[in-house]
Structure 1
Amino acid sequence: MLARFLERVNFSSKWKDGFTNMKNSISAIAGGALFIYVVGFLLGKAIILNDLAPFAIAFFAVMLLRKPAIANILAVVITLGALTVSWQHAIYIGGAISLLMIAYGYLEKKGQQDVSLLPYQVLAATIISKVAVLYWLTELTNYTFVMAGLESALALLLTLIFVQAVPILFGRMTSRILKNEEIICVFILIASVLIGMSNWVWYGVHMDQIMGGLAIILLAYAGGAGIGAAIGVVIGLIMSLANPLLMSQIAIFAFAGLLAGLLKEGKKVYVMAGFFIGYITLSIYMRPGIDLYPVFVEIFSVFFLFSLVPKSVVNYITGLIPGTSANMWNQQEYKKKVKELVSGKVDRYGYMLGELATTFETKNIKRNQEADFQQLIEHVADISCQNCNRYNRCWQTEFYKTYQGFVDIFIRFESGETVSHQRLPKDLNAKCVDKKRLLEVLYQEFKAFQKEYYWKGQVEECRGLLAEQLKGISQVMGQLSVEISKEGLEFSKQEVEISRAMEKLGLSIQHAQIVSLEKGNIDIRVTKNGCGQRDECEKILAPMITDIVGENVSTKNKRGCNCANEECILTIASAPVYEVEYGFVSIGKGGTFVSGDSYEGIDLGNGKYVLAISDGMGNGQRAREESQAAIKLLKTLLQAGLTEDTAIKTINAALMLRSSEEMFATLDLAFINLFTGETKFMKVGSSPSFIKTGKDVEIVNGRSLPVGILHEIQYSLEQRVLKQGDYILMVSDGILDSIRHVNDKEDWLRRILLQISCDDPQEIADVIVEKVLRFNENEVIDDTTILVAKIMPYQPEWASISIPDSKKLVTA
């Protein structure tokens, strides 16, 4: 209504602004600012130590920053509150607020206003206004000047406190977790407001005692004994600053809050009983001869107001206080929402990368070499023959002969032959009038065509590699999204059981977080104090959790265990059914130490193990660099989560793009599932592998070219299921090449493996290499590498520890 009125009446700009501000203030009252005005009025009349009033100016400064629309009316309301004390006090408060608004408006206009400057503005405004009032209206002495400085310092400190407390009390009611410092700041703001009620007394009944008691019993009911005692101390202390005769109120409020909080698990009646006992007991003890009638009225008034508080308000307050059940639930809900958000974004990014990979694959069209060659010939004809008087004869009447002549010349260029204008094809030599220029154009354009063709091929290779990489990353992100979705399940009860069991053994555990209790995929994150290399994790923690979850677990990813003064963070994960022990021998050509072969056993985690041998092209250091590059890249890609197929294709493309020279390497891989024994043999240009089971040896062959030769990599794949006691024998081609004068070299090596009776993988590798070298008269004709692995049952280093009366966790 007011806005429409202003639009119709032609006021000056100044009057319009004034009425607009009034309209905003009136709307703010209707919107819930009335409570802020009430608080401002009470803080305007709040005084401590007989003459100090730092609360009002600090509160106004924070509200000016957060709600500037209501600043004008709030300034008036605070000044009216100060007027109830004295007119001199009102002038002091009004002057300080005016100075603050001037400074704030000036900096705001320049765009330099910041929350960090607010306390200093409050300090300056307070001391200037206070000293001016003391000088002009009362008496300025050394004592009053010092007290003015103290009041200004308190105003600065309260500004910093109210900056944290005001958003909590007057902001939007959103669920969040308060820090301990924020809770204390809220207590101080509540106690400051209660000081403004210190002179509201009816027949001996003090309003500040009733409202203070209500705040204490409400927060004790919501937060427990610690919160109840803390707010009791804060309110009692600040109220005693306003009235030194109430020093005993500190102990009374603290004891009443403590007893009320201890009974919070019961209903409101039990909380009221605790508050009543604590309040009455210390009131009688610390105030002998006190009139109990006003005390009973105050207590039962508190109970009446407390009974009217809705449960939703209590639940909201409980959710803000750390350590409460509602707060823990809020934390779980917050984590769940964050994980859902992250999971959704990761899933969308994965889908986007998959679509990009599809786009690159669609555009990876095979080149038509014949069409490109035809365009080259047409281009040369346009350059060299277009203006020749024999053009029609050559390119119309005798088109085929001319075309074939150009093709013959290009073939001779490609073979590296030097072509002179005297040695042109017979037909061209007979009819071309400018042979020398024609040959120069043909040579230049052919070289340009070769370069362009080569770089187009490189671009297509890079495009294919990028498509494979994007597809692999998309798959990894999809798996990550699923894993994130699985995490964050509600395991709070099981986490408490684990923590209690650890405490029974005397372990100092800070936090135990269960990510998964799925059978074979247990994942528990533990944070504890460092043990100073006493190996508590392996000796006590893992055996104890083994007994609780009912399956073998082991420690992984330990950080900080070596230092007793630091946190130790580790992961307790399911232990595999099997483990791999391997031995190896690697000799360079001619018996040198530098071999072109590389090998490695890679633990990928989650019960996956990889045995790998790579043979670089040729011998010596260069071949070793190629094979090591293949092994390192394979390890990096697999540990990043890429599939075996994507990893091998990426290695192939990387070796092809690594150098313009011919570079390749073989790959012999065995992927072992340590939970089931399932093993995948992937061979890329590598020698056969052998599986020894008891008295039987099986040969695993593969037929494919090494990586780095062809654009489209092909590999052989064989799957077997291994069990305890089985052996895997993997060799480079140097082993088989050394078995000369034998028709079936694989069968010869199979029989040697059958004859060996020892169990140690390293000993088996040594024996085989020794027999091969003896058979070849101790001559090492090529790089020779052998890798022998044994499938063994997993044996925990320490037996499980049974905890009396501990509950067993059910694994899915």
Structure 2
Amino acid sequence: MLGRLTYRATSQTSAIPIPAKPFSRLSKRLVAWLEKPSVKDAKRTFWIILIGFLLGRAVILMHLLPFAVPFLAVMLHWQKSKAKWALLAIWAGAATISVSFAAYAVGATIAYLILHRIITVLRPQSNMIPMTVFITVAAVRFSVISVQEGISSYGAMIAGVEAGLALVVTLIFFQSIPILFERKNKMSLRHEEVVSIVIFLASVMTGTVGWLLYNLSVEFIIARYLVLVFAFVGGAAIGSTVGVVVGLILSLANVANLFHMSLLAFSGLLGGLLKEGKKIGVCLGLLIGTGLMGMYGDNQTALSVSMMETGVAIAIFLLTPKKWIEHLARYIPGTAEHAVEQQQYLRKIRDLTAGKVEQFSRLFYTLSNSFSDVNEEAPGKEPGRDVDLFLSKITEKTCQTCMKKHQCWTRKFSETYNIMERTMQEIEDNKDVYDRRLMSDLHAHCIKHDKVIRAVKDEIGQIHANKQLRKQIMESRRLVADQLRGVSKVMEDFAKDIQREQKTHELQEDQISESLLKAGIPVEQVEVYSLDNGNVDIEMIISHNEYNEGEKVIAPLLSHILKETIVVKHTEKASLAGGAERLVFGSAKQYVVSTGASQTAKGGKWISGDSYSTMELGAGKYALAISDGMGNGKRAHLESNDTIELLKNILRSGIEETVAIKSINSVLALRSEEEMFSTLDLVMIDMQDASAKFLKVGSIPSFLKRGRQVKMIESGNLPIGMITDVEVDVVNEQLKSGDLLIMMSDGIFDGPANIENREVWMKRVINEMKTNDPQEVADLLMERVIREGGGIHDDMTVVVARIDHHLPKWATIPVAFEEKAFAKSSG
């Protein structure tokens, strides 16, 4: 029977219906292919159908249809599920022109689908869509012309022109369609992408050619509306570019419309130049352009009709919601909306980065605590428990094989336990059994006393080795804990710096601009980022800096306004064209440090066991350090140099000074079995308030000379590497301008052997110096010690620093506005 259904059994005893009608499966696939889109995609599907319909109608050069196949190709590649609606819309659009155009559209699209399928099967990994479009359009157009007019070179040329246009249009559609239909949280369009989108919109607009609304051309209204929108959003450059592109596409659709390219380009330029007048200014630019080109241009459209078309476009533009225009402006580079969008994106990235840094900071802090928790011995361990474990190991080696073990450990348990405990204590204290009474008791009680003594000695040796190993492990854990805690603190501070919000300083920016204008320096832009004391950050763009006005005028003026010294931190060209420069101003250091040093090795040799360094750290800190390795020569030099290098790297990473010294101590204590120690004398000077921290680890005193007074600064810490848990005493001292700070190694301090009170002698020598130049002081002190000591008997190093106020090159410039208001607002 024709309509009968047959069944085939499966392993689950179920049946699958197989249609007997030959076309039923094809009909079902067609129904599934044309199924209604979901509500979510209905809006996108509507726009695809509308665009496909207009592109199917878009005819250029009287009889060419170069947009239909490219649109189908891009839709098939970009969103295959919507390609069916694009295909039907193209057919419908072509059918509204004529039967011949509809036949051509159907033939070209079906030919493309077949050829695309063949190429996909043969070369699935290749992307040959543009070439496939070219071949399809060229073959179909040449075939149509050959059937109608016969084979000719003219037909080949026309087919080549249409295929070439289709190839270019395919590339443009590939770039513009995904941008229009895909929503992205962050997207900034390049100028090439903007032009591609405009070409796509103009191509769609070509489908409206011939439509009239009360004798007004719809394509001209849409074209002028596009020019208005882009001129208002992007300015003169974007407006004129859109006018040229749209006018060119219109002229391809109808050569008589070539005049409109000039009208639209000129109107886009005028509208962009008048965009400061908001929408009214842009509309005025289009009206002026339409009027001028209508009066003096050679066109086929009456001026009244052209003005009415402009009026309708202006009305639609004025009714366009502001939200839509702002949404478009987000993607156009150079607009205020785009800048806000970029700032929001950067703020999001900043918050995300700060969050990750904070997570790592918490992770390192947790790891530090986990290592710190095991630094101490576990509580609850009783000494008796350790003795029991020790004696159980001894008895296992000796008493288990003894025939008298039951007599000793059952009948005389207390006596045996006491003798074994006394033996263990005696050997632990004296390395052997020297107590005669204990030896007598042991001989009388145990028949294997020699074996017991050897076993106790071996076990105690293992215990001592285990204790040493545990000690090193504890120190390693302490080192890791300190390092992790320091890294956690650095990352926490870094996260806070990232999250620091930029404050608004509009009043201060206006006052600074006004003052500079009165001083004769025009300023294009002023941005105040921070007004915190010691951390001022101001950026401005001035029209020229040819006579160094930034340093000579602007910096002194800002110094007077902010009541602190401001200097130029950085300058750069603001643009490739013109002399405008971008200047960055910041707080100057209130104090400067000048240094001098002198060093010599024992006996005048080349390699000294002392090492020193002077370094400027971030955050306005200056550090001076001297390290003296134990002994002399190359090994001592390596020890002290390693200490200095470790210190420099750790301090520059931002880790706190005491943590840095403890970390260095742990590293030096763990890395070698030999007794190699080194001292460290470190001074940290704050360049803003001249406060100083002295951290002395095994080093000799330093001296501070202020006028005719000399003060000694000392601390009693042991050298680095000598003990595992070093305690760092910090001595704080407030320095003043003109102070001399003298740091030295023990070779200088202990050089004169015949001097009894070295502290008094050193103070007197420093006080007698008439110079305050740091290098001269270092050289004179070195020479005096060598002469008084009768030679170079040890490695000698002296480092001298002088602290001075920072004086700007140019005096401050008083300003005219009320300074109280500025100080109040900045606070």
Distance apart, 1:184 and its partner CA: 1.1
The 1:146–1:498 alpha-carbon spacing in structure 2 relative to 1, beyond 3 Å, is farther
The 1:64–1:595 alpha-carbon spacing in structure 2 relative to 1, beyond 3 Å, is same
Extract unaligned runs of 5+ from structure 1. Answer: 1-8
The 1:112–1:708 alpha-carbon spacing in structure 2 relative to 1, beyond 3 Å, is farther
Amino acid in structure 2 at the alignment position of 1:519: N
Distance 1:649 1:352 in 2: 22
Distance apart, 1:405 and its partner CA: 2.7
Question: The residue matched to 1:398 in structure 2 has which SS?
Answer: helix
**Which structure 2 residues correspond to residues 618-767 of structure 1 after superposition, within 5 A?**
618-767=631-780
Distance apart, 1:702 and its partner CA: 0.2
Contact 1:528 1:569 in 2 (8 A): yes
Distance apart, 1:127 and its partner CA: 4.4
Corresponding residue for 1:462?
A: 476
The 1:289–1:192 alpha-carbon spacing in structure 2 relative to 1, beyond 3 Å, is closer
Contact 2:698 2:717 in 1 (8 A): yes
**Which structure 2 residues correspond to residues 321-332 of structure 1 after superposition, within 5 A?**
321-332=332-343
Distance apart, 1:491 and its partner CA: 7.0
Contact 2:602 2:608 in 1 (8 A): yes
**Deviation per CA, 1:678-723, whole angstroms, max 9, x where unpaired?**
1111111111111111111111110111222222211121111111
Distance apart, 1:302 and its partner CA: 0.8
Amino acid in structure 1 at the alignment position of 2:629: G
Amino acid in structure 2 at the alignment position of 1:781: H
Question: The residue matched to 2:401 in structure 1 has which SS?
Answer: coil
Task: Say which of 280, 289, 298 aligns to 2:309.
Answer: 298
Residue 53 (structure 1) aligned with residue 82 (structure 2)? no
**Deviation per CA, 1:528-582, whole angstroms, max 9, x where unpaired?**
99x9xxxx99966544552353253456689999xx9xx9999654210111011
Contact 1:511 1:526 in 2 (8 A): yes
The 1:753–1:181 alpha-carbon spacing in structure 2 relative to 1, beyond 3 Å, is same
Amino acid in structure 1 at the alignment position of 2:625: A
Contact 1:175 1:316 in 2 (8 A): no
Corresponding residue for 1:485?
A: 499
Corresponding residue for 1:799?
A: 810
Q: 671-680 vs 144-153, which deviates more?
A: 144-153
**Which structure 2 residues correspond to residues 400-799 of structure 1 after superposition, within 5 A?**
400-409=418-427, 449-486=463-500, 488-489=502-503, 515-523=529-537, 541-543=550-552, 545-547=554-556, 549-550=558-559, 551-554=564-567, 572-778=585-791, 780-796=792-808, 798-799=809-810
Distance apart, 1:131 and its partner CA: 5.1
> Which is higher, the Rg of structure 1 or of structure 2?
2
Contact 2:555 2:568 in 1 (8 A): no
Question: The residue matched to 1:486 in structure 2 has which SS?
Answer: coil
Distance 2:235 2:510 in 1: 20
Q: 483-492 vs 344-353, which deviates more?
A: 483-492
Distance apart, 1:738 and its partner CA: 1.5
Distance 2:442 2:539 in 1: 81
The 1:131–1:803 alpha-carbon spacing in structure 2 relative to 1, beyond 3 Å, is farther
Distance 1:347 1:538 in 2: 46
**Deviation per CA, 1:22-41, whole angstroms, max 9, x where unpaired?**
33436466334312211111
Corresponding residue for 2:182?
A: 171
Residue 186 (structure 1) aligned with residue 200 (structure 2)? no
Distance 2:674 2:387 in 1: 25
Amino acid in structure 1 at the alignment position of 2:795: D
Distance 1:185 1:547 in 2: 51
**Deviation per CA, 1:456-485, whole angstroms, max 9, x where unpaired?**
333322222221122111111111122112
Corresponding residue for 2:8?
A: none
Question: The residue matched to 1:386 in structure 2 has which SS?
Answer: helix
Question: The residue matched to 2:648 in structure 1 has which SS?
Answer: helix
Extract unaligned runs of 5+ from structure 2. Answer: 1-16
Contact 2:740 2:772 in 1 (8 A): no
The 1:64–1:288 alpha-carbon spacing in structure 2 relative to 1, beyond 3 Å, is closer
Distance 2:407 2:581 in 1: 89
Amino acid in structure 1 at the alignment position of 2:58: A
Corresponding residue for 1:74?
A: 86
TM-score by length of 2: 0.84
Distance apart, 1:17 and its partner CA: 5.7
Amino acid in structure 2 at the alignment position of 1:671: M
Residue 264 (structure 1) aligned with residue 282 (structure 2)? no
Distance 2:88 2:33 in 1: 14
Q: 582-591 vs 145-154, which deviates more?
A: 145-154
Distance apart, 1:504 and its partner CA: 14
Corresponding residue for 1:84?
A: 96
Amino acid in structure 2 at the alignment position of 1:788: V
Distance 2:542 2:450 in 1: 85
Distance 1:369 1:110 in 2: 82
**Deviation per CA, 1:49-99, whole angstroms, max 9, x where unpaired?**
344433233333333344333221121111222233444544444455445
Question: The residue matched to 1:670 in structure 2 has which SS?
Answer: strand
Contact 1:670 1:682 in 2 (8 A): yes
Contact 2:601 2:796 in 1 (8 A): yes
Distance 2:553 2:25 in 1: 79
Distance 1:598 1:527 in 2: 46
Residue 398 (structure 1) aligned with residue 416 (structure 2)? yes
The 1:196–1:502 alpha-carbon spacing in structure 2 relative to 1, beyond 3 Å, is farther
Amino acid in structure 2 at the alignment position of 1:70: K
**Deviation per CA, 1:400-438, whole angstroms, max 9, x where unpaired?**
22233345456666xxx9x9xxxx966666766667876
Question: The residue matched to 2:613 in structure 1 has which SS?
Answer: strand
The 1:448–1:603 alpha-carbon spacing in structure 2 relative to 1, beyond 3 Å, is same
Distance 1:139 1:53 in 2: 20
Distance 2:80 2:614 in 1: 67
Contact 1:25 1:73 in 2 (8 A): no
Task: Say which of 324, 337, 342 aligns to 2:348.
Answer: 337
The 1:775–1:437 alpha-carbon spacing in structure 2 relative to 1, beyond 3 Å, is same
Distance 2:166 2:467 in 1: 78
Contact 1:580 1:792 in 2 (8 A): yes
Residue 36 (structure 1) aligned with residue 48 (structure 2)? yes
Distance 1:283 1:749 in 2: 98
Question: The residue matched to 1:265 in structure 2 has which SS?
Answer: helix
Question: The residue matched to 1:641 in structure 2 has which SS?
Answer: coil
Q: How many residues align?
A: 785
Contact 1:88 1:133 in 2 (8 A): no
Amino acid in structure 2 at the alignment position of 1:80: A
TM-score by length of 1: 0.85
Distance 1:500 1:142 in 2: 73
Q: 605-614 vs 119-128, which deviates more?
A: 119-128
Task: Say which of 356, 359, 366 aligns to 1:355.
Answer: 366
RMSD of aligned alpha carbons = 4.3
The 1:433–1:61 alpha-carbon spacing in structure 2 relative to 1, beyond 3 Å, is farther
Amino acid in structure 2 at the alignment position of 1:580: V
Contact 2:391 2:420 in 1 (8 A): no
Contact 2:231 2:239 in 1 (8 A): yes
Amino acid in structure 2 at the alignment position of 1:301: V
Residue 144 (structure 1) aligned with residue 158 (structure 2)? no
